[in-house]
Amino acid sequence: MKLLPLLTGCEPFNTQPPRFLFTDINQQCNLKCKHCMFWARPEVELPGHISIERRSEIIAEYAELNPNGTVVICGGESMMNPERYFPITRQTRELGLICFSVVNGTMITDDKMATRMIAEGPSEVTVSVNSHRSEVHDHTRGMIGSFDLATGAIRLMLQARERLGASTVIYAMAVVCQPNYRELDAFYDYVLNDLGADKLKLNFLQPTFEPIAGIQEDKFYRENLIANEAELLEILRTCNEKYQLNFDPEWLRVVELYHKSVHVHGDAAKGWASQGTSEPICNSYERNIMLNMFGQARLCFSTNFPGTKLKRHGDLRKFWYGNNRLRRKMAKCTAPCGVSHSVRRVSATIKPLEIESDAA
């Protein structure tokens, strides 16, 4: 009988460099999105928050680990702090790194800011747009007029990109849920053929981001998670064929599994305390480093797994290559955040090998 080697937790688990560094630069927002509660608390700069200079040092060390890596700017609405935002975009350009950013569009209201975004901003800008109908977007985002701001930002940046002859990628991204999934066909037509964005990315509703203690029931998640996953899959397949989206069949299976799991468990009202998916669908621990406002690094956004304070040069490398025990634990995680575009194991689309990216 062949004996298997005893796993001690020290064996190589992931010898590849990190592909993405997600870095928080604030936790405030000027919208009142139903699925997020960042807006419910004021922005407070705490003594323990890292400085712009320290964040820059960590990004420089990340470039040493992966000169071809991607830095993702996170918030809140990150553009509410341009004094933190643009130093990152300029640094990534200088280092030859890729830079991604998801914004709500409210801070890109004129040609001057749109031009700045194209000239010195991220390599890829994604604007959150929840529907082709303003009333649906405005309701889910909690502010009348937010649809016009979001779509206006996309149009302004597309015009600036054309003027400057730049290559900045400009996407729209939706939180897909009960109020909008049946209209995905018209939504795709609007984003691709009216707005003219490069892609419509789909991010499915997850439990509410709730930093306020004492909330026991996630009503929005319970009431707005897509109820009929079979119908959702049929709509996605129709859009896939009509708009030649090249969806990965395995991604479609995961989308169905995610929704079906919550329905089978019947615990959507528990939100983040729900049982999650019937199998792990995330591999954040194999490719991502999340850096929070306190200079603490994690392998995913969840605080259920321990992080490491990055105090000096070399700590990022030690964190990435010295956490195999933690990765083995995380590989069993079935939390519902696994469906997020930032952490999911399977990209939405299959791309030609020469342009393949893990950030679909």
What's the pLDDT score for residue 360? 42
What's the pLDDT score for residue 3? 34
CA dist 283 and 56 (Å) reads 26
| Of 192, 112, 211, the residue nearest 153 (C-alpha) | 112
What's the pLDDT score for residue 18? 97
What's the pLDDT score for residue 9? 42
Say how far residue 266 (Cα) sits from the centre of its chain: 26
First-last CA distance in the chain: 44
pLDDT 10s per residue in the chain (360 long)? 333 333 334 444 557 999 999 999 998 999 999 998 777 777 777 789 999 999 999 999 999 999 999 999 999 999 999 999 999 999 999 999 999 999 999 999 999 999 999 999 999 999 999 999 999 999 999 999 999 999 999 999 999 999 999 999 999 999 999 999 999 999 999 999 999 999 999 999 999 876 454 557 899 999 999 999 999 999 999 999 999 999 999 999 999 999 999 999 999 999 989 999 999 999 999 999 999 999 999 999 999 999 999 999 999 999 999 999 999 999 999 999 999 999 999 999 997 643 444 444
Q: Which region holds residue 347: left if phi is over 0, alpha if psi is between -120 and 50, else beta?
A: beta
What's the pLDDT score for residue 14? 55
> Rounded to two decimals, what is the model's pTM?
0.92
Helix 146-164 and helix 111-120, axial crossing angle in degrees, nearest 10 = 60
Going by C-beta distance under 8 Å and a sequence separation of 6 or more, which residues neighbour residue 157? 108, 114, 117, 118, 125, 168, 170
Going by C-beta distance under 8 Å and a sequence separation of 6 or more, which residues neighbour residue 271? 207, 208, 210, 217, 218, 221
Domains in the chain, start-ordered, CATH in brackets? 20-352 (3.20.20.70)
- Rounded to 10 degrees, the C-alpha dihedral 238/243/247/249 comes to 30
Do 29 and 77 touch, CB atoms closer than 8 A?
Answer: yes
What's the pLDDT score for residue 38? 76
What's the pLDDT score for residue 214? 54
Half-sphere exposure in the Cβ direction for 281 (13 Å, CA): 27
- Two structure tokens written together for 70: 């991607």
